[in-house]
Chains A and B, each alone.
Chain A
Amino acid sequence: MSLGISGSEAVAETLPQPQKITEHAKGSRLAALVVSIFRTLSKVHLGGLLLAVLLSTPLFALFYEAIVGEGESFEYIKQTVLGDYIVNTLILVFSVGFLALLIGVPLAWLMSVCEFKGKSFFKWALVLPLAMPAYLVAYTYTDLLDYAGPIQIALRSWFGWQSPNDYWFFDIRSIEGASLMLALVLYPYIYLMVRASFLEQNAALTHAARTLGQSPLRCFFKVSLPVARNAIIASVALVMMESMADFATVHYFAVSTLTTAVYDTWLGHYDLGSAAKLSSIMVLGMFMLLYVERLQNGKKQTGADAKVSQQKLMYQLSTKQSIIAFCFCSLILIIAFVVPAAVLVGYALDYYAESWSTGIMTYAFNSILIAAIAAIAALALSVVLNFILRCRPYPAQKFSLKLASTGYAIPGTVMAIGVLIPLSFLDTSINEIAESFGMQGPGLLLSGSIIAIILAHLVRFVAIANKSVEASYMKISPSLDMVSKTMGQGGVKLLSKVHLPLIRKSALVASLLIFVESMKELPAALLLRPFDFQTLPTYVYQFASDEQLEIAALGAILIVLVGLVPLILLNRSIDSH
């Protein structure tokens, strides 16, 4: 694909190192300064910044509200519950990250370097939970595990317990429950990214370690794990950000986090200023996560360049080990996917007559359309941003990439308003200009159409693409760029002939992930949709919010099914070398 943007050609003349600039201007210091300013403000450079600013306008709009808004509720919340909210958020974010890590990394290792029966099935099946929206898993498990659910009722009748004081049972509607639910649907991020990293690792390293007499386990801890560090940290950071922005699950589980606080202040206290202030705390958290990740990236990665295709070292597991591996994989798959899917299918069968509606296919089409456009657009923007950073590795460009990624930590409803602020401003201006020429205005062209939903998804999920493409770019040796330029292939050609083929795989992975995420995303679509416009999640939510998930079960299954297709594709693409 070609992703030419105007101005990229200007890159052709410069090599990637910024220090070269000074070489050109040996004449006078003043001239050097002028040249450097000129270069800094060149079209390409500005293009990158502009894109980043564009992607972060919803955020800036919110910050603006935070500053100008009165925010009187903020003081009050600070004095009463803010501390609890922050602590809860920290507990949630870290335990989701930790749990997902405990599930994702061992699975990734099993799938990339071990051989055992059933592996080929689990390899793709373990990605399936990603297609499950967290809120659906939460709904189904609450139905099952609640005090009034079938499991506890059965236990009570078996053991003759009378009241909740007679026994202890895991309280699903708790911060632990919420962490578990989120970890179950988010671990595939870690699994996928770390598995890809294990597969890309230079086999020579493991061979060497094994030759030096290290056990497979020590090899894993001493070689594979440290080399996969970047992938692990990047994926855990994604998982943590995703859980920070979650609203549906924590709200359903009655766990108060910062997202709940943002909702309360904005929709309860009618205080957008305070809500924006609280969101800023979350964005700060997001920046901290990104910073930690960058610290790690700063350390030199060993063997990253080495793309030597060698015979991989595979461990054939013994029967006992195979059984353990098999059980571990089955357990995760059953808890994270089979059980919730079975509950949904059960509901769909029981309530088929009520749940079938002809509209459902239209809703599915709407969802797919939005997800596809968001995925392609996010990828295109992210490639352009990363390419510009590659050609002009200045701090400003790095910052603009981070800036473009911050939307990920903003909960959907807040993002929806963030998107509405600039779009409705534009709409009003367009209408006023039209009217000043005596024409009839076009109405709410942007904020009243699906453009608003797409933009909200784009801003929220572009971080996934940024991360993936950035990681992939770091593996391309700068010498390739130099060679390419020496041969007169710079600018767009460098991008299309050298970079794109090399980052193709992670770009594909990123766009598929965005597609899946955007299929599941509820709040932005709910709030921004035009009249009589439904996506699958909004359709399901209508009933689920009234605790009548049964009736919407068919729609819920469709969300999962549509999400499965890209996931299976994605899984294949990681394996194909």
Chain B
Amino acid sequence: MKKLVAIFLGLTCLTAVAKDSGSNDKTVNVYSFRQSFLIEPLLQQFTDQTGIKTKVVFAKSGLIERIKREGKYSPADVVLTSNFSKLLQLKDEGLTQSFQSAEIDQSVPAHFRDENGHWVALTKRVRNIYASKAKIANPSNLTYEDLGSADFDGKICTRSGKHPYNIGLISSFIAHKGEAATEQWLRGVKANLARKPQGNDRAQVKAIKEGLCDVSLGNSYYFGKMLTNEDQKPWAEAVNIVFPNQNDRGVNINVSGAVVAKFAPHSENAKLLIAFLASEKAQQAYASLNMEYPVNPNVEPSELVASWGKFKEDTLPLTQIAQYRQAALRLVDKVKFDL
């Protein structure tokens, strides 16, 4: 009995603590799909500049469900996502609030923010093809379509087809070519796989270095991350980073971004944070620390990233691509891409 009482007392104290830390006017609460160590330096700069403290919960999945369940008492102010489809999902499920800010309108081009101000993109990432320097002679002419042709039999490595980055690519394929052509292409890619889809984008480059496959799919910033990591540098040096489809529609891009939560208790601070993340200072940090392409046109990519060259990007609006997300997921199941 004593123990039970003790437990209850303990729990009460804990909740008191938990609750106490929730309400403070000089804070902003962040739900983040991005690893906290990626955004911590930026949040620190924000705190230094404004005096507003940031509190973070990071999880790769389930945060949207959590906000939905928490309803109007949700402590979330800002949600940071790592891909476009999550931004759209947040908006579609009515979990965002619209906000207009002259500052953001200035620093983010119109096609990288919602017309009603429900979401803002913060960084741009490219879905590249990584091609073995030793095996692929003329990489600059590669297209996504090539990956489905018999020339690449047993030569492709990739992460799960259901990963948001690949779903984004497949959705854009559907948007351009239609569902039937995409299915045929996806079956081709599946038949060409050197191994079952597994690992992350970097692991595929490692496999190319080891000779397991010749080409892989991967986001642009991983190339920079690998080149600046002592252990992974040899992997990156074994491949060329390729911007496919330069002679037609351009390379597939995706964005990371942010929204202000509908019931944000500190919505003013939330807007300040997002405006800060779109500002030149933060965009520079994104570019140099995370090797991403800034959305702010006044900010150049880092020197390393710029050295990969300029490229033509797919200009089809992201919202148009994102409407094929469900279809893309179903295709992945239909061709049993991951099995």
Contacts and interface: CB of A to CB of B under 8 A. Distances in A.
Interface of A: 1-4, 76-77, 80-81, 84, 147-148, 153, 162-164, 173-174, 253-254, 256, 263-264, 266-270, 272, 373, 376-377, 380, 413, 416-417, 420-421, 424, 427-428, 431, 441-451, 454, 526-533, 542-543, 545-547
Interface in B4-34: 4, 7, 10-11, 14-15, 18-19, 21-23, 29
A256 B62 contact: no
Given A147-B210, A445-B19, A529 B57 contact: yes
Given A263-B61, A380-B4, A527-B62, A417 B69 contact: yes
Interface string B57-94: 11111110110011111110000000000000100000
Cβ-closest 7 pairs across A and B:
A531-B55, A449-B18, A254-B198, A148-B210, A424-B69, A80-B333, A527-B62
A4 B5 CA distance: 12
Contacts of A417: 62, 65-66, 69
A1 B2 CA distance: 8
A84 B339 contact: yes
B175 interface: no
B202 A268 contact: no
A416 B19 CA distance: 20
A544 B14 CA distance: 29
A298 B83 CA distance: 54
B73 A76 contact: no
B35 A148 contact: no
A447 B66 CA distance: 9
B18 A448 contact: yes
A173 B162 CA distance: 17
A407 B211 CA distance: 45
B73 A531 contact: no
B330 interface: yes
Interface in B167-219: 167, 194-200, 202-203, 206-207, 209-212
B142 interface: no
9 contacts: A80-B336, A148-B212, A256-B339, A263-B61, A377-B7, A431-B73, A444-B22, A448-B18, A542-B35
Contact of B73 (A269, A441, A532): A441
Nearest to B93: A270
Nearest to A421: B69
Nearest to A380: B4
B61 A267 contact: yes
A253 B70 contact: no
A254 B333 contact: no
Contact of A449 (B19, B63, B70, B89): B19
A444 B59 contact: no
Given A173-B198, A268-B162, 17 more contacts: A2-B1, A81-B336, A84-B336, A148-B207, A148-B210, A163-B212, A173-B196, A373-B7, A376-B3, A380-B4, A413-B62, A443-B22, A448-B22, A526-B59, A527-B66, A531-B75, A547-B203
Interface string B321-339: 0000010011001101011
A153 B69 contact: no
B10 to A, nearest CB: 7
B60 A545 contact: yes
Contacts of B69: 417, 420-421, 424, 447
Contacts of A81: 333, 336, 339
A76 B330 contact: yes
Given A530-B57, A532-B55, A80 B334 contact: yes
B56 to A, nearest CB: 6
B36 interface: yes
B207 A147 contact: yes
Contacts of B57: 529-533
Given A442-B19, A448-B22, A547 B210 contact: no
A82 to B, nearest CB: 9
A177 to B, nearest CB: 11
A269 B332 CA distance: 12
A161 to B, nearest CB: 10
B21 to A, nearest CB: 7
A272 to B, nearest CB: 7
Query: Of B195, B197, B198, B211, which is in contact with the most chain A CB atoms at under 10 Å from its CB?
Result: B198
Interface in B264-284: none
A266 B19 contact: no
A447 B70 contact: yes
Nearest to A424: B69
Contacts of A164: 194, 211-212
A509 B178 CA distance: 59
A443 B73 contact: yes
Contact of A268 (B1, B199, B211, B329): B329
B70 A424 contact: yes
B160 interface: yes
Given A147-B212, A269-B329, A449-B14, A416 B62 contact: yes
A2 B5 CA distance: 12
A416 B55 CA distance: 21
Contacts of A267: 61-62, 65
**B69, B194, B206, most chain A CB atoms within 10 A:** B69
A496 to B, nearest CB: 10
Contacts of B23: 443
B73 A427 contact: yes
A505 B61 CA distance: 40
B209 A253 contact: no
Nearest to B335: A80
Contacts of A446: 15
A30 to B, nearest CB: 40
B333 A448 contact: no
Contact of B14 (A2, A441, A451): A451
A547 B199 contact: yes
Nearest to A373: B7
Contacts of B198: 173, 253-254
Nearest to A525: B59
A531 B4 CA distance: 27
A77 B333 contact: yes
Contacts of B7: 373, 376-377
A254 B61 contact: no
Contacts of A441: 73
A81 B334 CA distance: 7
B70 A444 contact: yes
A531 B62 contact: no
Contacts of A173: 196, 198
A76 B333 contact: yes
Contacts of B19: 442-443, 445, 448-449
B195 to A, nearest CB: 8
A529 B58 CA distance: 9
Contacts of A528: 66
